[in-house]
Chains A and B, each alone.
Chain A
Amino acid sequence: MIETIFSMPLYIIMPVVLIGYSAACFGVGTLFLKLFTAHADWMEQISAGTILATGFILGQGILASIWLLLALGGWFSIRFVGVLCFIFAVGGLYIGRSLFSALKKQIISIWHELRADTWGWQLIAGLTITLCLLWVTSLGRPLGGDGLAFYFALGKFVAASHRLVPLPGYEVFTNVGLQGEMHFAALMALHSPEAAKLFSWPTITAAGIMLAALGRVAGMGRRGQWLTLSILFSSSAVIWLSGDGKVDLFATSLGLAAYYWAVQIRFVHTKMVLLLTGLFSGFSIVAKLSYAPVMVPTIALLILWGYESEFRNKDQWRAVLKPFISGCMVILAGLILAFIPHFVKNGLLYHNPISPIGSHAIGWLNQTWFGPDVTRRILLTYPLALTYGSYWSQYGNLSPLILAFLPLIFYLPRPRPFFSSPLVVITLIALAGVLSWIIYNPSVFSPRYILAVLLLLILLPARAAEYVSYYDQKPRWLLFSIMSATYVVILVTGLYFITEAFFPERTYIYLTGNMSECERDASDYCEGMLVINKVAGKGDRVFLADYYRYWLRPDLIQCLSSTREMQKFDDLTISDEKWRFLYEHGFTYLFVDKTTYGSVIDSLTLENPPKWVNAKLLYSNHNELILAYKLKYTNPPNLQKYSCRQLNAPAWDVVKK
């Protein structure tokens, strides 16, 4: 039955799984919101779109935690995942049905407002929506980089084995928070790696709604919100994360939701708002640990701002202290609640709940990317570097519209009192967040590491441009410049990424089943691994001297060489010892990327192996840098000690013979 459903054409199954899974996320989040806000009048002041996006993002956080606990227990089967998704999706749609009618009214109202505006603003809205819709075509984008090495590979690994254990070759790195990875795993368990690839699209759309909602809180009108979305979707730091298998956007949407609800504390101190602030902050830090040094101080400042008006009255501050402390406790409870599944995972797998802190594997947290001179140059040119930078591993910039509209802030009337303005405070919080990062890790320059806080910087220039658009007097050169700059940037961004991240034609070919995964990814690694997949028996062991592993068969990924085995292999100095090691550990295939692991091939002297070894070349790419071998052993000098077996089906384990 299940196989029949999943054997439907890709263009049917992918959207069904993506929409169904998004509905499940929305369902979990809405269920949670309804449980805590049964009679909350203040929720009526918040737009349906914002509540819907909140529900969806909250559901992402909760669902990933549920999947994590299921996978730790070894129950991550399609039966559990599918049934839970179905229940959550149906339940959420039923509970949130009134939200959808409110959303329909909101969309109609936005449409009427847009029709009443000039054609120039209609064009900006149209171009922004087009740019947002172009994300769908990132399905045809070749997978590459970290997604292939870890994030997507872990999803495949968990979906196939029904359990979560450290990924062979990345045992240490599996101690990171696994928010995005668990969604990938769930979507792969539902037989749709394509939906996993595209799940960043509803995620960034929800993040965009939260950012626009923050803009509304900051006094923005509809034009400002359209400009906010134009800037968001023309930021290459956002677009580069579309369909590449990385997980940074999950932290971004959770982080923006955290900022939205933290700002709400200023207006309402209900337990729900406080709990949501804590939960979203916690989930976003779990999703991207680099958010911790930025989120913690900025959310703390927003909480203080939330209670500032009460504290201002010096006669009352003692009376306010109690609700303030209890409010902080609720936020802390939400934060801890979000962290618990992560702590459980690290406690079970690493015997250290707060790993990587306190473990020997903390190295990746203390990175240095550049020397003092380059770091100084980046710091001195920060706004320019964020707009024009192409530094190593930077992976995109903020939209140039932020820098272009920035001087327009001098047109904005000075709010009185200054620090009561949400726009002022949100911008100062964003700057404080950037400063925290600069102090914490100045040489690591990559917008995706702190994307949520950086995106807050969009609001002030967007509001300023909106203000000028209303009040510019003849000759209206500023209005003309604002609109021209927006058109040019959106168009150029769209055209630039048509060949980099958006692939409409390839998406069509792929969806209609006329292109394989390997053809889409146009990768020699994929071709080499595909050769091994075809000839290898179940549970054969591959000695992988390469970063990437996603394309290997699921059982082969589970039986791969571990980091410890790689280290032991490296420690051996004599070629004969290395061959004996490979035989003892049961490796019958060798996959080497000579550009990064050339020493493996050199140390094995493959052109002249021992007599008892037969290394048959299965695959070599055109420049002989990616190589796959089949290893055969005749009368080996020692006994094989390890093999890969299916002890707890469907999982495979490397065991001693």
Chain B
Amino acid sequence: MIQPSLVPQGIYSVWVKVILSVWMFLVVFIHLLLFGSPEFWLFIERLGLLNILQAWRSWLEPFFTANYLS
């Protein structure tokens, strides 16, 4: 296995870390929007974000759904 010192230091920069962390958060967040459990939506409702997140969900869903022979 190659030691970290041999890996280009640029990819360990804080900015790359921020971008990758945001990416991970985004992927999981979209998953929650589309396949979140009732507990997740209850939590969102308590935060007062239900309407806006449901609007995002209804905007996203058509990109990933289609009926038979459509």
Contact = CB atoms under 8 A, between A and B. Distances in A.
Say whether A associates with B.
yes
A492 B37 contact: yes
Interface residues of A, number: 46
B68 interface: yes
B61 A390 contact: yes
Nearest to B34: A388
Given A478-B21, A481-B20, A471 B64 contact: no
B46 interface: no
Interface string A479-490: 011100100110
Nearest to A400: B31
Interface residues of B, number: 37
A388 B39 contact: no
B40 interface: yes
A392 B67 contact: yes
Contacts of B30: 388, 400
Nearest to B18: A477
Contacts, number: 108
A455 to B, nearest CB: 18
Interface in B1-57: 1-2, 4, 6-7, 11-12, 14, 17-18, 20-21, 23-25, 27-28, 30-32, 34-40
Nearest to B20: A407
A413 B69 contact: no
A384 interface: yes
A265 B27 CA distance: 37
Given A392-B67, A499-B38, A403 B27 contact: yes
Given A390-B65, A475-B17, A485 B34 contact: no
Interface of A: 219, 236, 368-371, 374, 377-378, 381, 384-385, 387-393, 397, 400, 403-405, 407-408, 410-411, 413, 471-473, 475, 477-478, 480-482, 485, 488-489, 492, 495-496, 498-499
Given A370-B68, A390-B61, A495-B39, 4 more contacts: A390-B65, A485-B28, A492-B36, A492-B37
23 contacts: A369-B69, A374-B70, A381-B63, A384-B64, A387-B27, A391-B64, A393-B68, A397-B35, A400-B31, A404-B27, A405-B24, A408-B20, A411-B11, A471-B7, A475-B14, A475-B17, A477-B21, A481-B21, A481-B25, A488-B28, A492-B31, A492-B32, A492-B35
Instruction: Give 7 nearest A-B pairs by CB, closest first.
Output: A495-B37, A413-B2, A400-B31, A481-B21, A404-B27, A496-B37, A374-B66
